[in-house]
């Protein structure tokens, strides 16, 4: 399973931290259409074997992720309620104090028209509960070897934790053992071992969630079971000590007080706000929308960045995956098709197909009276790019180096459903 592990490790280290958008979810009909298209592609595809070079899995994953970004950008600029004239006028939220609060527009056109700018002053950030244990000598063992247990209670359940201490354990290994035990329990808590300036270590337990509801005094509580050994273990470790209580975020919205369990929340289903710091007294941040010209320029920049990104992917693997030239040709043809029209509005197509933006010319183009004509060209470019990205996403393996085993009999080919698994299951292990 070494090759499969390599693929998963690369995906997790490179893309796992990216947040999912609402455009990553699909209706049943859309998933059914994707499946039927893949089956149709596989029906006429030749039988081939993948060359097991070190980059094949990474290349396939990068293609899939690059095309996903393009499709999400296009989807965000293709709201069914918007026409060609305002598809690129998708509103963009702004905050006058990004270090205190950032804003993202998540609403629709109708809702946003009813809401203008507003002020927000952050008084206090939401915080998690933290239990910090006693700082102990890392190389000594404060507990005798044996079996121990304690109970951990949250607002809905009580959990029993059991652990063993061996004669070769130390306080540090015991604390690490408990930190992993609590984190892996998947109950909304994370455990870690922290050190002080004297080199002593302590077990720290932190809640994943922040804030606390009315009537609750804690997010979690730790207490020993009734045995003398359990009582001595909790006392020695000190993990029942609450060093930081959970608190709600407190803020003024247009001068009116509000609170939130989390530092991220929505306002009227139009803005998603994320609090990052406390405001200066009497100096609130202003949240609103960017001007149409600024919003259009930023939306176009986002589309261009997603297009350039997949060209970078093709170029990155040109040395190890010779078929990557097909990806480059497919995607760069999108810009070359509209080159003259794009350059007339400030989107300069370079020799290698990448697009650079002349911001002054672009701003002038989208602000002048015939901006509708320019936006129509951009819309055609956007749609063609989406088609190319969708085709690459459905069959990323056509761009990796492979060995053709046999071609299917024309007119008498059969569906080969297992071919789909070459990417989706990452069945590129040499032992399969």
Whether 331 and 310 have beta carbons less than 8 Å apart is answered as yes
Residues 236, 237, 240, 241, Cα dihedral to 10° = 90
**Rounded Cα–Cα distance for residues 243 and 264 (Å):** 24
**Rounded Cα–Cα distance for residues 132 and 206 (Å):** 9
pLDDT of residue 109: 54
**Rounded Cα–Cα distance for residues 229 and 429 (Å):** 50
Nearest in space to 401 (alpha carbons), one of 309, 325, 295: 325
pLDDT of residue 98: 92
Residue with tokens 């040395």: 319
pLDDT of residue 287: 93
How many separate helices (H) and strands (E) can be counted in the chain?
12, 19
Compute mean pLDDT per 10 residues along the chain, 432 residues long, and list them: 62 71 76 81 75 76 89 76 56 89 78 72 95 94 91 89 92 94 91 93 94 88 86 92 94 93 90 93 90 77 92 89 90 93 90 90 74 80 92 85 75 65 51 39
Q: Locate 56 and state its tokens.
A: 């094949």
Whether 402 and 48 have beta carbons less than 8 Å apart is answered as yes
Whether 211 and 244 have beta carbons less than 8 Å apart is answered as no
Please give the full DSSP string across 155-185, using - where no structure is assigned: SS-EEEEEEEE-TT--HHHHHHHHHHHHHHT
């Amino acid at each position: 399973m070494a090759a499969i592990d390599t693929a998963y490790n690369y995906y997790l280290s490179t893309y796992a931290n990216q947040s999912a958008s609402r455009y990553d979810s699909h209706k049943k009909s859309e998933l059914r259409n994707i499946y039927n298209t893949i089956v149709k592609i596989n029906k006429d595809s030749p039988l081939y074997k993948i060359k097991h070079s070190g980059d094949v899995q990474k290349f396939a994953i990068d293609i899939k992720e690059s095309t996903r970004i393009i499709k999400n950008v296009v989807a965000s600029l293709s709201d069914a309620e918007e026409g060609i004239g305002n598809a690129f006028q998708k509103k963009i939220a702004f905050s006058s104090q990004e270090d205190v609060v950032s804003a993202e527009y998540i609403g629709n056109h109708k809702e946003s028209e009813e809401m203008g700018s507003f002020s927000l002053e952050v008084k206090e950030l939401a915080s998690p509960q933290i239990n910090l244990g006693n700082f102990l000598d890392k190389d000594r063992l404060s507990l005798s070897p044996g079996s121990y247990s304690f109970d951990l209670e949250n607002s809905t359940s009580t959990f029993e934790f059991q652990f063993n201490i061996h004669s070769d354990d130390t306080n540090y290994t015991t604390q690490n053992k408990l930190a992993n035990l609590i984190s892996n329990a998947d109950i909304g808590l994370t455990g870690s071992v922290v050190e002080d300036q004297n080199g002593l270590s302590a077990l720290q337990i932190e809640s994943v969630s922040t804030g606390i509801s009315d009537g609750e005094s804690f997010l979690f509580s730790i207490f020993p079971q009734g045995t003398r050994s359990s009582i001595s273990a909790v006392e020695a470790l000190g993990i029942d000590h609450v060093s930081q209580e959970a608190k709600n975020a407190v803020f003024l919205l247009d001068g009116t007080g509000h609170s939130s369990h989390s530092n991220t929340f929505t306002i009227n289903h139009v803005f998603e706000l994320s609090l990052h710091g406390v405001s200066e007294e009497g100096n609130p941040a202003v949240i609103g929308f960017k001007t149409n010209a600024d919003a259009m320029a930023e939306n176009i920049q986002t589309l261009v960045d997603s297009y350039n990104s997949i060209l970078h992917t093709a170029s990155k693997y040109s040395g190890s995956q010779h078929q990557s030239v097909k990806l480059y040709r497919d995607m760069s043809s999108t810009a070359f098709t509209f080159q003259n029209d794009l350059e007339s509005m400030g989107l300069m197509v370079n020799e290698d197909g990448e697009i650079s933006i002349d911001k002054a010319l672009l701003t002038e183009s989208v602000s002048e009276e015939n901006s509708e004509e320019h936006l129509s060209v951009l819309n055609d470019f956007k749609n063609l790019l989406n088609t190319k990205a969708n085709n690459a996403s459905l069959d990323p393996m056509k761009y990796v180096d492979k060995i053709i085993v046999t071609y299917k009999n024309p007119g008498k080919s059969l569906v080969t459903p297992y071919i789909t698994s070459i990417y989706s299951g990452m069945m590129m292990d040499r032992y399969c």
